[in-house]
Copies of this chain bind each other. A is one copy, B any other.
Amino acid sequence: MKKKRCAVEIPRNEDFPLWYQEVIKLADLAEHSAVRGCMVVKPRGYALWERMQKVLDSKFKERGVENAYFPLFIPLEYLEKEAEHVEGFAKECAIVTHTRLEQDENGKLIPAGKLEEPLIVRPTSETIIGESFAKWVQSYRDLPLKINQWCNVVRWEMRPRLFLRTAEILWQEGHTVHATAKEARDFALEIQELYADFAENYLAIPVIKGEKSENERFPGAENTYTFEGMMQDGKALQLGTSHYMGQNFAKAGGIKFLNKEGKEEFAYTTSWGVTTRMIGALIMTHGDDNGMIIPPRIAAKHVAIIPVLTNAEKNAEVLDYCNKIAKTLRSKTYHGEAIGVDILDDDRRAGEKAWDAIKKGYPLRIEIGARDIESGKMPVSKRTKEKQDKEFLSLSEIEEKISDLLDDIHGELFRKAALHREENTIAVNSLEDFAKAVKGEDFPGKFIKAGYGGSKEMEDKIQKEYGVTIRCIPNKQPENVDDCIFEGKKAPVEAIFAKSY
């Protein structure tokens, strides 16, 4: 049997991590930099982040969140204010100790101007933002306070993976202050909902909303709400988190307010964030053995037009026609954005250009040659179909149907991912079945649902013994939860266990 031609040398089912790297390279999204752990986000990768930023930013603003900016550097003493917090980040932080360079006796440049107290490059900004909030919040009239910043954070990382695990991370971090516990927790949950909706309706990634177990909680949080996707290798990826902090950070940072009764009390805070890791999620959820597939609602460029230039006499006419289609499509919008069109007008053969568009993941391709112009019907290809699958449409049909075509692709991507997750989720109600599942030959590759009522110690034990962790305790619980498979006793919750990124 002839082996099917694929653009990615290593198919997903042979070596998923290598396939992942290869797709990033073929789609020209990012690369490792010479600075250990840091990545370079290339224009095609950054365009995805820009679209994500734009959509999320407007959703945040609709909820009364305002953007601001806080310092990159955090004094060590701030970080120490919340005990769990500093412990959570101490092992992996970049520390600034000097403020200028000087030549030593051999003329070599060495750090000089030593700081009295070292500064930490922010791994997250609860403590430094708390410093400002303590000043800004005086009375219940100042609440709720809802602030977000788009910035970089640093967590020293020795085993970098592009988009998934890097020393420097681009993200947004929202921080809010509320007068009551209920309002704060509700807001953290509202943001979880916002994120999950974004993941499903823009990234086309079905997610499970749930709460993190004690072991996986943010250092210093009371509750960490997550939304988890299943990647094509069956592993879980946490796409982002929203934390309810209770009064922990308010007490650490002195965020107090006078309530309506004129009594001073500590406020309740939340924080929440998503990162460029979502780009990794896109690749691992939708990519195939031919490369990237960009979900249409997050694409900057929706359509690749491929001029087929085989007849010198007609090439100018073909290019004119391509420009005409491009102009028509660019004047239309899809999900509030002008439709993005690239004309691949270079001297490669049409087939090569088509493969290039496939690898880079344009949702739609239109190949246009002199004969297509004559017939008035253009071959339109969806990235979600086989390369040879084409639908022949007139320019007016393309114009009319473009939004539907893009929505179709979104739907296909979402349904495929949802089906994959469904097929790879199993429920077990005994430790024996759990052990069997974890040790089965198609593992990792499964989400395991099981009743769970254990402790932090039990979590450690499960991770050590079975190599899986609790990904979340889903918000949506079955009516009757089975007993805890680890401790036998009546389980309070159903949890999802899996390997994870």
- Residues of chain A having any CB pair with chain B under 8 Å: 31, 33-35, 38-43, 45-47, 49-50, 66-76, 78, 80, 86, 90-102, 109, 111, 113, 118-121, 128, 131-132, 135, 147, 151-152, 154, 156, 167-168, 170
Q: What is the bound-complex CA distance between A109 and B91, given in angstroms? A: 11
Complex interface: chain B residues within 8 A of A74 (CB):
35
Chain A to chain B: the 7 pairs with minimum beta-carbon distance, closest first:
A38-B71, A43-B66, A90-B101, A41-B69, A95-B98, A99-B156, A95-B111
Contacts of A68 on B, CB cut-off 8 Å? 40-43, 45-46
Most central of A35, A135, A152 by chain B CB within 10 Å: A35
Task: Determine whether the beta carbon of B132 is less than 8 Å from that of A40.
Answer: yes
Question: Do B95 and A99 touch (CB < 8 A)?
Answer: yes
Q: How far is the CA of A4 from the CA of B47 in the complex (A)?
A: 53
B35 touches A75 (CB 8 A): yes
A35 touches B128 (CB 8 A): yes
Minimal beta-carbon separation of A75 from chain B (angstroms) = 6
A50 and B58 CA atoms in complex are apart in Å by 13
Partner among B47, B75, B109, B113 whose Cβ is within 8 Å of the Cβ of A80: B109
Number of copies: 2
Of chain B, the residue at the smallest CB distance from A166 is B71
Determine how close the nearest CB of chain B comes to the CB of A475; give it in whole angstroms. Answer: 31
For the A-B complex with A31-B132, A46-B68, A47-B67 known, give 8 more contacts whose Cβ atoms are closer than 8 Å.
A34-B78, A35-B73, A40-B71, A45-B68, A46-B66, A71-B168, A80-B109, A93-B101
Q: Could you say which residues of chain B place their CB within 8 Å of the CB of A76? A: 101, 109
Interchain CA distance A50-B121 in the complex, whole Å? 24
Chain B residues near A152: list those with CB within 8 A.
Answer: 72, 151-152
Q: Knowing A40-B132, A90-B109 are in contact, say whether A119-B71 is a contact too (CB < 8 A).
A: no
Whole-angstrom distance between the Cβ of A286 and the nearest chain B Cβ = 22
What chain B residues lie within 8 Å of A100 (beta carbons)?
90-93, 95, 156
CB distance from A49 to the nearest CB of B (A): 8
| Pairs A–B under 8 Å by Cβ, sample size 16 | A31-B132, A33-B70, A33-B131, A35-B75, A38-B73, A39-B71, A40-B132, A46-B67, A50-B67, A72-B121, A72-B152, A80-B109, A86-B109, A95-B101, A111-B118, A151-B152
Which residue in chain B gives the minimum CB-CB distance to A154? B72
Cβ-neighbour of A95 out of B33, B70, B97 (below 8 A): B97
Considering residues A41, A43, A50, A151, which has the most beta carbons from chain B within 10 angstroms of its beta carbon? A43
The closest CB in chain B to the CB of A156 belongs to B99
Residues of chain B lying within 8 A (CB to CB) of residue A73? 35, 38, 94, 167-168
Cα of A24 to Cα of B40 in the assembled complex, Å: 36
Docked complex Cα distance between A71 and B35 (Å): 7
Distance, CA A102 to CA B99, complexed state (A)? 22
Tell me if A99 and B94 are in contact (CB < 8 A): yes
- Closest residue on chain B to residue A100 by CB atoms: B91
Within 8 Å CB of A78, what residues of B? 34
Minimum C-beta distance from A51 to chain B (A): 11
Which residues of the partner chain B approach A147 to less than 8 Å between Cβ atoms? Answer: 43
